Structure 1
Amino acid sequence: MFRKVLSIALVFVCFSSTVLANFDFNSNCIHAYKSILALRLNEGRLLIDKEKALHPQNAITTLLDNYYDFFLILTNENKAEFGKLKENKSIRINRLEDEDPNSPYYNFCIAQVNLQWALLHSHFGEYTTAGLEVNRAYRLLQSNNKKYPAFLPNGIPLGVVNVLLGSLPGGALKSILSFLGIKGDTQTGVKMLEQLSVDLPKSPYSYHYNELIYYLTYIQTDVVNNPFAYSKMLQMVTVADSTSLLTDYIRGYVALRTGHSAEAIGWLQNRHQGSDYLPYPYLDYLIGIAKMNREDTGANNYFYKFLQSNTGVNFIKDAYLHLAWKCLLEGDIHRYNGFIQFVKAKGYLFNDKDKQALDEANDTAPNLFLLRARLLCDGGFYARALAALKGKTVADFSLERDRIEYYYRLGRIYDAMNEDDTALKFYQNAINIGKNSNYHYAATSAIKMGVIYEEQNQPVKAREAYHHVFDFKNQQFKNSLEQKAKEGLKRLAAN
């Protein structure tokens, strides 16, 4: 009798394990996941379908299907395809909700699907939907973190959401999230992701590392403006997938955004391409910018290539603006005006770069000396940027806008050259004459001064600089700049 009862119990346990063990990130799924992150989506699709045939109950394939859609839309930015594929979200959520709620992957997978679609919805200006999805993802991830604190993959989306909630400037999405009553903290999120960059590689979850550095390098570069973002990126990608187009993008993007245009050109031109990889027109746009920063003659070819092959909605206006600038620098006013009309007529306004491009197109043409200095400084060619303004004084510029930018631009150049005292002097000049201007130069100068004073361990002066931002009249990037000032004040309060 005892043996019979034991046998029945063992059968029940085994049966229960079979039914509930529906989240199996096995070697085939890991291979598919890595292929998708490498932007070899066809390979990833074959591996997902193989896993579905072998193990139809494995719910990890549902998560991988979502990764497939996420990176497909993220790289092609095609609004029609987004409209078609976003219907998959509810189907996948319903499938995942039928799985084992006692697995750490249960909340994680549902949260990831919500978060990935939130990022895509916000990409196309659908902020209400995005806000609701972020809200749900955040609550699921928080719950999962309490139940399974050793489940390291959970920290990636949780860190990203914390940064997103903490650093988001005012606007539609921020208003929705505030209404829902959820708040994050940028520094908490960054620390979480940085700790994961140490812990993940030596854990059983090391295959999530490439996704981690995709988010972390972007956050360090564009969100918190970490002065060591470039060196941190170089360190992290040494153990990243060397066959990945996403790794090529990370190298090139961070290099471009941190004043290393020459290196960006090398990495992006030598990126992985061919039938195995997704087409990624955006990378040609980045090469065009890097080449303009370096004053290469062939920069316009990459903007043309981007505009011809791009099926997405973003960076179209900005590409035309760069083509206009190229003509202006070459003295071709007629073609400059033609491209400016394209900036106004073509593209969309989902992206901040395109919004800024339209603002600049509606303004008076930039001063040639300041434009050249701006591009060279952005590219990391600081000596050449300084030489572009050699012999100029503020009296050489007739427009108030240009006089303010002159001081701001010199401040940026000396700041990048680590000549803090000189940079502070020019930033202060920009503030003195630009505090009542609608342009961003004075407010941005105050942010830059605050950062310098923080690094010099002068908290009183840093706090004063950040507080100045809220006093300025400027409307350009107002929400973003005020959010940066708030983050600076929060850092100072924590120390």
Structure 2
Amino acid sequence: MIKNYRFIVLSALFIFSSTSLFANFDFNANCLKAYKSIFELKLGNARAYISTEKKQHPKNAIIPLLENYVDYFTIVTSESKADFDRLKGNKSARLDQISDDDKKSPYYLYAQAEINLQWALIRGRFGEFFNAAMEVKKANNLLQENVKKFPDFQLNFKGLGLINAVLGNLPDGALKTALSTFGIKGNLQTGLNMFEKLTDYLPKSSYEPFYDEVVFYYAYVLSDVAHSSSAYAKTMKYTERIADTSLLKSYLQSYVCLKNAHNDEAIQILSKKPEGGVYQPFPYLHYLEGVARLNKLDLNAGVYFNRFLQSNKGVNYVKDANLHLAWISLLKGDKTGYNSLAAKAVNNGYLYTEKDKQAKNEAAAPLPPVDLLKTRLLFDGGYLTKALQVLADRQTSDYTSDKDKAEFNYRLGRVYDGLGKDDQALVAYQASINQGKNLKYYFAANAAVQMGKIYEKKKNAVKAKEAFNTAIAMKNHEYENSIESQAKAGLKRLAN
């Protein structure tokens, strides 16, 4: 991550300590080591450096910010509601510490904004949407004020980039409703532009130590907010210069590979991830490896899902892991095992994430046809030719239920789409819409979104708008908020 550590330490000391104005926000060598450890997920090391700094410079107002980073990544890696409930009380004390410090430093408002924003991101994971909205509003106001006071302080644009991107493409729901109450809006492209500029600028500047954090948020925005076609290429490009000793790098790269059908690469990254007691436990990585291995129909993937469930103390992905284990039983021909594990997917775990909500729905539904399940998994892994081979001799009339007919054409459309066979994809997508538009399943609505994207690529704005509006018009189906936000984002692109 940091190739010339001595130079960066000296540069940082110059930036943060060159005048008396910065004396109480001293990002010194000790704090830089703590910060570097945090973004390698070596949280024990970070705590030790922070403890040393407390003894040497107890009034350094960077300390509460660093402590908040540690709490943030403790909860991100554990997904634990108990950790969240235990640690969230620290927020107000840290803000109190900072509020008594040097108001003439660019870190005065920035540090307060960062703490608010970090807790907003965490609260959203546990359904505390109103409090999260209040914290986003507070962070946004603090950063906007800081830009006026210190327009050349580049770190302002990290938080503002995240706020703009997320708010600019937020699906309808409790958080969006709460934010609209405060009149807060964002712009996805503005946020993306801020991140793009920062990732290019930081390595050539004295702000270089903050590069990993910017890439962490930028990768999230590209993959999960913008659903960008360049998410894989950009994430791999920008993470390349991060040290291989960073577990966070392994997470970012494997996640974006898995999400963008670079499945074998995801497995390779996860199998080589740094390990040892120095790293924060991160059970989610076992879950990711299970997903990646099952995508290539490796039935030994169950080892990784069970490893996740055994080591996990968090509330998320429990239902989805059990559903994947159920699929493995079904692929082995064990319907009794499938039913047992599907029951766990229904009854165990929580419903904070879309993944777990969907897992519960699917586990409660009739058994999926094995050929459609295989096609789905192979498509997710990017094994398009193999996926098409599974459906080569199948046709709509081979399926009895409307659900399976809609899914068959949806899966076929996705595979053709991935192979660049646009005309065949459009025919299959339209068939899925016709068969599934009145069902609760997501196939028809997402088929309409994918149609819109094909027409957009073909520069047929009229047909693209029609498809995106078709997706928006469908209601009361799975993934409704996410699909609708993608369709609305498509309409925004066409309007520009």
Q: 2:21 & 2:232 partners in 1: Cα distance?
A: 47
Q: 1:413 & 1:228 partners in 2: Cα distance?
A: 20
| Structure 2 counterpart of 1:12 | none
Q: 1:18 & 1:194 partners in 2: Cα distance?
A: 33
| Structure 2 counterpart of 1:59 | 61
Deviation at 1:147, TM superposition (A): 2.4
CA deviation profile, 1:397-450 (whole Å, cap 9, x unmatched): 111011111111111111112222222221122122222222211111111111
2:254 to 249, 252, 255: 252
Is residue 440–residue 475 contact of structure 1 (8 Å, CA) maintained in 2? yes
2:286 to 284, 287, 293: 284
Rg bigger for which structure?
Answer: 1
Which shifted more, 417-426 or 284-293?
Answer: 417-426
Is residue 25–residue 60 contact of structure 2 (8 Å, CA) maintained in 1? yes
Q: 1:474 & 1:182 partners in 2: Cα distance?
A: 27
Which shifted more, 390-399 or 17-26?
Answer: 17-26
CA deviation profile, 1:321-356 (whole Å, cap 9, x unmatched): 000011011110111000011111110111111011
Residue pairs, 1:96-135, within 5 angstroms: 96-135=98-137
Q: 1:188 & 1:460 partners in 2: Cα distance?
A: 26
Deviation at 1:471, TM superposition (A): 2.1
Q: Tell me, yes or no, if structure 1 residue 344 matches structure 2 residue 354.
A: no
CA deviation profile, 1:366-411 (whole Å, cap 9, x unmatched): 1111110000000111111111111000000111011111111111
Is residue 21–residue 104 contact of structure 2 (8 Å, CA) maintained in 1? no
Q: Tell me, yes or no, if structure 1 residue 460 matches structure 2 residue 462.
A: yes
| Structure 2 counterpart of 1:30 | 32
| Structure 1 counterpart of 2:182 | 180
1:346 is matched by which residue type in structure 2? N
Pair 49,417 (structure 1): closer, same or farther in 2 beyond 3 Å: same
Q: Tell me, yes or no, if structure 1 residue 449 matches structure 2 residue 461.
A: no
CA deviation profile, 1:9-46 (whole Å, cap 9, x unmatched): xxxxxxxx658621122222112101011000111111
Residue pairs, 1:418-429, within 5 angstroms: 418-429=420-431
User: SS of the residue aligned with 2:243?
Assistant: coil
1:186 is matched by which residue type in structure 2? L
Q: 1:146 & 1:489 partners in 2: Cα distance?
A: 33
Q: 1:462 & 1:328 partners in 2: Cα distance?
A: 38
Residue pairs, 1:463-482, within 5 angstroms: 463-482=465-484
Is residue 443–residue 474 contact of structure 1 (8 Å, CA) maintained in 2? no
Task: List runs of 5+ in structure 1 lacking aligned partners.
Answer: 1-16
Q: 1:227 & 1:172 partners in 2: Cα distance?
A: 28
The alignment of Structure 1 onto Structure 2 pairs a total of residues equal to: 479
Task: List runs of 5+ in structure 2 lacking aligned partners.
Answer: 1-18
Q: 1:439 & 1:337 partners in 2: Cα distance?
A: 21
TM-score (norm 2): 0.94
Q: 2:398 & 2:323 partners in 1: Cα distance?
A: 25
Q: Tell me, yes or no, if structure 1 residue 50 matches structure 2 residue 55.
A: no
Which shifted more, 53-62 or 251-260?
Answer: 53-62
1:23 is matched by which residue type in structure 2? F
| Structure 1 counterpart of 2:164 | 162
Is residue 171–residue 481 contact of structure 2 (8 Å, CA) maintained in 1? yes
| Structure 2 counterpart of 1:266 | 268
Residue pairs, 1:207-246, within 5 angstroms: 207-246=209-248
Q: 1:130 & 1:471 partners in 2: Cα distance?
A: 29
1:75 to 65, 77, 80: 77
Q: 2:344 & 2:62 partners in 1: Cα distance?
A: 45
CA deviation profile, 1:39-96 (whole Å, cap 9, x unmatched): 0011111111122222222111110000000001110112112111110000001111
Deviation at 1:483, TM superposition (A): 1.5
Residue pairs, 1:356-435, within 5 angstroms: 356-435=358-437
| Structure 1 counterpart of 2:5 | none
Is residue 317–residue 354 contact of structure 1 (8 Å, CA) maintained in 2? yes
Q: 1:367 & 1:241 partners in 2: Cα distance?
A: 44
User: SS of the residue aligned with 2:155?
Assistant: helix
* Percent of paired sites with the same residue: 48
| Structure 1 counterpart of 2:306 | 304
Q: 2:391 & 2:37 partners in 1: Cα distance?
A: 48
